[in-house]
Structure 1
Amino acid sequence: MTEAELRTEICRVGKSLFDRGYVHATAGNISARLADGFLITPTDACLGFLEPEALAKVALDGTQISGQRASKTLVLHRSIYAAEPEAMSVIHTHSTHLVGTSLTSAWTQDELLPPITPYFVMKVGHVPLIPYHRPGDPRVGQLVAQAVAKHGAAGRKIRAVMLDRLGPNVWHSSPAAAMATLEELEETAKLWMLASPKPVPLSEEAIAELREHFGASW
C-alpha cells in the first residue's frame, strides 16, 4: 500500500469506527507504519471527519515532518511498533464496553477478559490490563512494551492491551485488520458485561483445540 493509499485507508477506517459508535467526539487515534516513519491522526481530531492530507507524518525518531500536530499518544504508538515488529497499524479508542469492563468487572488485576468465546481466543488473545496513568503519559509505553515482551517470552503473541479507565490499543498488519481485532474485543467485553452470572472460561482442552486447528495464540 502506498503512502497515499494508506492515508485514504486510515480515513476510511476512522469514519467506519465513528459511524458505528466505536469512537466519539475527538477520542481515539489511528497510526500506521511507513518505511521512513509513521502516519498518525492529529491531536484532538474526530476520527469521523479525517482528511488524508491533514494526517501527521513523523520520522522514525518521532520528529514531525508534515500535516497537523500529531496525537499526544504518538509515544505509545511508537513503543508498540518498537516492541512488535509485525505491527503495521495501531488503533486506540475509548470503546464503551471495554472502558466499562475496566471500571467494574475486569477479570483479574492483570488481565481484562477471560477466554469466553472461541473467536476472542483466535482473533484477539490475551489482553493485559495496564494500570491507570494520565492520557499521554510516556510511562505507559514502557508498560505496554513490557507486556508485549512478557507474553512473547511465554510464546504468546498479543494484539491488544487495555489502558485502565481509558481504552484499548490494538495492532495488526493493516488499519482494517486492526479494526477487526478491535471489533471482536469490544463485542467480547459487551458479552462479559451483560452476562449474569458471568460465564466460565473455555476449558484448557477447548483452547488447546483452537491452538491446534487455528493457530490461536493463548
Structure 2
Amino acid sequence: MSEEARLRDDICLMAKSLYDRGLTAGASGNISARLSDGRLLVTPTGSSFGRLDPSRLSLFSADGKLTDGDKPTKEMPLHAAFYETRPQKTGAVVHLHSCHSVALSLLSEVDPDNMLPPLTAYSVMKLGKVKLLPYFMPGDPAMGDAIRGLAGKRSAVMLAAHGPVVAAKELEAAVYAIEELEETAKLAMLTRGANPKLLSDAQIADLVKTYDVEWD
C-alpha cells in the first residue's frame, strides 16, 4: 500500500473513531495530514466523520492548490496557518466541536492564555498551554491570522464557542492530544466550583523539562 493510500485510510479510521465516541457530531470537525512530499490530504466540507470515503478526500499540491477530491473544509485557513508557522512540528491538524471543551470556552473565568487548568500530567505533556482565541465566524480567514499571530508557539488552541484545534507531527499524535484536551475540559467542568487540587508549579516545571513541553 502506498503512503497516500495508507494515510487516506488512517484519516477515515481516526475520524470514525472520534465520531463513534461522540467527540464530534453531524458534519462538524475537520482533519488534515501532510504526505512526505508536502502534499496535503483534507476532509471535505459538509462531510460526516462517521462516513468519510478515502477516495473523496481533498488533495492539495505542495504549493497549496486543490488537485483532486471533493471541495475541502472551509476551515482551510486555520489548517494552513499551523503548517506555515510550525513547519517542522506539524504533520497533521485536527479540529473538533467537542462538547466539554466548547462549554469551558464559554466561561468568563477561563484564562485565555492557558484555558485548561493543570489537573493531570497528561494534559500538560500532550498539549502544553492551550490558547483561547476569540469567536470567529466559521470559515473566517481571520482564524488563520490569529494562529499566525502566535508565531508558532502553541500546538493547541481553542476557538471560543466553536471547538479545539490541535497540531502534531503525526496524525495519531494529533488525535490523541485533542482527545486529552476534551477529557481535561470535561474534568474541569465536573470539578468546577469544587476547588480541585491542581498540579503545583514545581510539578509542572518537572513535566515541562522531562518531556520537552512547550510552555511559553
Assess same fold via TM > 0.5: yes
Alpha-carbon contact 1:171-1:178 (below 8 Å) kept: yes
Match of 1:77 among 65, 75, 79: 79
2:216 aligned with 1:214: no
Which deviates more, 112-121 or 132-141?
A: 112-121
Match of 1:68 among 53, 58, 70: 70
**SS of equivalent residue, structure 2 residue 149:** helix
CA distance in 1, matches of 2:134, 2:188: 20
- Name the counterpart of 2:143: 140
CA distance in 2, matches of 1:124, 1:68: 31
2:120 aligned with 1:121: no
2:201 aligned with 1:199: no
Structure 1 counterpart of 2:59, one-letter code: K
CA distance in 1, matches of 2:62, 2:210: 38
CA distance in 1, matches of 2:150, 2:198: 22
Alpha-carbon contact 2:95-2:163 (below 8 Å) kept: yes
Superposed displacement of residue 173, structure 1:
1.8
**SS of equivalent residue, structure 2 residue 73:** coil
CA distance in 2, matches of 1:206, 1:89: 29
Alpha-carbon contact 2:113-2:129 (below 8 Å) kept: no
With normalisation by structure 2, the TM-score equals 0.92
Which of structure 1's runs of 4+ aligned residues deviate more than 3 A? none
Alpha-carbon contact 1:57-1:67 (below 8 Å) kept: yes
Alpha-carbon contact 1:121-1:217 (below 8 Å) kept: no
1:2-151 paired onto structure 2 within 5 Å: 2-34=3-35, 35-85=37-87, 86-104=89-107, 107-149=110-152, 151=153
CA distance in 2, matches of 1:109, 1:215: 23
- Name the counterpart of 1:175: 171
* Structure 2 unaligned regions, length at least 5: none
* Structure 1 unaligned regions, length at least 5: 152-157
Alpha-carbon contact 1:106-1:112 (below 8 Å) kept: no
- Name the counterpart of 1:155: none
Q: What percent identity do the matched residue pairs reach?
A: 43
**SS of equivalent residue, structure 1 residue 189:** helix
Superposed displacement of residue 208, structure 1:
1.7
Structure 2 counterpart of 1:206, one-letter code: Q
Q: CA RMSD in A?
A: 1.6
CA distance in 2, matches of 1:22, 1:123: 18
Which deviates more, 131-140 or 113-122?
A: 113-122
**SS of equivalent residue, structure 2 residue 125:** helix
CA distance in 2, matches of 1:113, 1:190: 10
CA distance in 2, matches of 1:54, 1:109: 37
With normalisation by structure 1, the TM-score equals 0.91
Structure 1 residues 15 and 59, CA, compared in 2 at 3 Å: closer, same or farther?
A: same
What is the aligned residue count? Answer: 211
Which deviates more, 5-14 or 61-70?
A: 61-70
Alpha-carbon contact 1:97-1:189 (below 8 Å) kept: yes
Superposed displacement of residue 109, structure 1:
3.4
**SS of equivalent residue, structure 1 residue 197:** coil
CA distance in 2, matches of 1:117, 1:22: 20
